[in-house]
Chains A and B, each alone.
Chain A
Amino acid sequence: MNYLDAKHIKKSFKDVDVLHDVSFSVKEGEVLSIIGPSGSGKSTLLRCCTFLETITDGSISYMEKAAVVTNESGKLVYADRSDFKEILKCFGLVFQNFNLFPHYNVLKNIVQPQRIVLKRSKSEAEKVARQLLEKVGLSEKERAYPCELSGGQQQRVAIVRALAMSPKILFFDEPTSALDPQLTGEILDVIRLLAEDNMTMVIVTHEMNFAKAISDRVIFMADGYIIEEGTPSEVFDNPKNERTRQFLAHYNSAN
């Protein structure tokens, strides 16, 4: 089953077209990486799929249920309120700058959303939180406040907070861009762990080696178009398109 279908997505900010007719889908258990130069629209695509931005045209479905479609007259039609709320529960998002709640400690950051949104009991929510914290090596930190943690630790808490909501798909919006190389490693290890558990993930990243190693499929974007799409070896080792070659060559020389 396709967990996510995004079809003919267009997005413009005022007169600037950021996404031109982009379509892609994500299957159960798949790890998809989206790479490309800055300004290529990859983060915007992710933000459209998570409804942080409203699309200009196109359709988005989760678990084969339509969240938004464009009708014949070009108007966006959203799923009704209760369906849409269910659709929001299908996915989680890990932000570039974590966005933990600074006034709550680690445990409360993870427990409160489960209690409010999923109506889990306190003991159940805490059990889920503690299991996941142990998995990412942060059991000791459940009473700490976000400001007392390193960036890598904060991001691991953010991943746990998202996972605790039992999403079908987890999106990562440049999860390591705010971190130094050592902390980046911490986060990539966690994502690798999730991939081993067959978590369905969409990762927007600049970590090419990581994307190559972990992904089932890679999308290369530039100027608001999907230029190339395929397995890591197709995209990284035998890129067909000139833009992809240029981008990867630039990237390899920089390393």
Chain B
Amino acid sequence: MSFFDIVVQLGDSMLNSIYIFLLTLLFSIPIGLIICVIRMYAWKPLQWLVKLYISVVRGTPLMLQLLVVYFGPYFLMNMKLTTEYRFWAVIIAFSLNYAAYFAEIFRSGIQSIPVGQHEATYILGYGNIQKFVRIIIPQMFKRVLPAVTNESITLVKDTSLAFAISYIELFTEAKMIAAAETSMMPYLVAAIFYYVLNLIVAGIMSLLEKRMNYYKI
């Protein structure tokens, strides 16, 4: 098989990797924000619960979490595992995992905002929700962009962990072709794909950072 043939054959699974990446970002960022707010401001027992959640998610391998999410329904509730669920297991496991990291990144961003910003909103009469939506969170996003870029790049590479439950994304299929053709070429194609996708991600994030440069802190 030529290099080009391999690229064509891997096309669909490349798309699957991109889906995992995009859907995980789409879900984990808002969930992370919610977790962050609970972690910082909610009723104390809820805070403890969320701290435990973050601690467990960060303290165990993503691959293991993925297996738990995928096989859990079968072993715990005797539910039948469908092929479709395989994809959603990946999205659920990845989103819940990345949300924990994003929550901590957002927390660091919120804590880095000077207390004077909170005091100014209080004196002016902003309510808590107005304060967060209009003053704190917009400034937080600018501050956390470099850390979010880091996470996004890691996520591109982590999509290959879906291999653990045989979901056909790029890495899984590259490995199958490599075995069938006894060739390293599929791995080379996969490596180039991950690298180029990360170049694009880094490029988009640096554009975002530039767009946020209309003000300085």
Q: In which size bucket is the chain A interface?
A: 20 to 34
Contact mask for chain B residues 185-213; partner A; CB cutoff 8 A; 1 contact, 0 none: 00000000000000000000000000000
The closest CB in chain B to the CB of A98 belongs to B116
- CB-CB under 8 A from B217, the residues of chain A are 102, 147
Asked if residues A103 and B139 are in contact (CB atoms below 8 Å), the reply is: yes
Q: Which of B27-35, B96-104, B122-130 contacts A (4 or more CB under 8 A)?
A: B122-130
Is A89 on the interface with B (CB-CB < 8 A)? yes
The reply to whether B130 and A116 form a contact with Cβ atoms under 8 Å apart is yes
Q: How many A-B contacts if CB must be within 8 Å?
A: 58
Q: A88-B125, A103-B138, A113-B125 are in contact. Are A95 and B215 (CB under 8 A)?
A: no
Partner pick for A147 among B119, B126, B138, B216, CB 8 A cutoff: B216
B113 nearest CB neighbor, chain A only = A102
Interface presence of A50 (CB below 8 A): yes
For A51, what are the chain B residues with a Cβ–Cβ distance below 8 Å? 122
Residues 144-158 of chain A, each 1 if its beta carbon lies under 8 Å from chain B, else 0 = 011100000000000
Contact between chains at B117 and A99 (CB < 8 Å): yes
B43 touches A (CB below 8 Å): no
Q: How far is the CB of A196 from chain B (nearest CB, A)?
A: 24
Known: A52-B119, A95-B116, A102-B139. A117 touches B124 (CB 8 A): yes
Q: Could you say which residues of chain B place their CB within 8 Å of the CB of A85?
A: 125
Q: Provided the pairs A99-B119, A102-B139, A103-B142 are in contact, do residues A117 and B125 lie with their beta carbons within 8 angstroms?
A: yes
Query: Are A102 and B123 interface neighbours, CB within 8 A?
Result: no
Query: Complex Cα distance A93/B122, Å?
Result: 10
- Cα A145 to Cα B117 in complex, Å, equals 16
Contact residues in A for B123 (Cβ distance below 8 Å): 50, 52, 88, 91-93, 162
B135 to A, closest residue via Cβ: A101
Asked whether A101 and B130 contact (CB < 8 A) given A89-B125, A92-B123, the answer is: no
User: Do residues B214 and A101 form an inter-chain contact, with CB atoms below 8 A?
Assistant: no
Interface residues of B in 111-154 (CB under 8 A from A): 114, 116-117, 119-120, 122-126, 130, 134-135, 138-139, 142
CB neighbours (8 Å) of A50 from chain B are 123
Q: Which residues of B contact A92 (CB under 8 A)?
A: 123-124
CA separation between A145 and B142, bound complex, in Å? 15
Tell yes or no: A10 within 8 A of B by CB. Answer: no
Interface pair B125/A101, CB less than 8 Å apart: no
CB distance from B208 to the nearest CB of A (A): 14
Distance of A92 Cα from B114 Cα, bound (Å): 19
Asked whether A99 lies within 8 Å of B215 as measured between CB atoms, the reply is no
Residues of A within 8 A of B134 (CB): 112, 116
A89 to B125, CA, bound (A): 7
**Given A95-B119, A102-B216, A147-B216, do A165 and B124 touch, yes or no (CB 8 Å)?**
yes
Q: Does A161 contact B (CB under 8 A)?
A: yes
Please tell me if A40 contacts chain B, counting CB pairs below 8 Å: no
Residues of B within 8 A of A184 (CB): none
Cβ contact within 8 Å between A145 and B125: no
Task: Among A97, A117, A145, point to the contact of B215 (Cβ < 8 A).
Answer: A145
A interface with B by C-beta (< 8 Å) = 50-52, 85, 88-89, 91-93, 95, 97, 99-103, 112-113, 116-117, 145-147, 161-162, 165
Q: Given A113-B125, A146-B215, 5 more contacts at CB 8 Å?
A: A99-B114, A99-B117, A99-B120, A101-B117, A101-B120
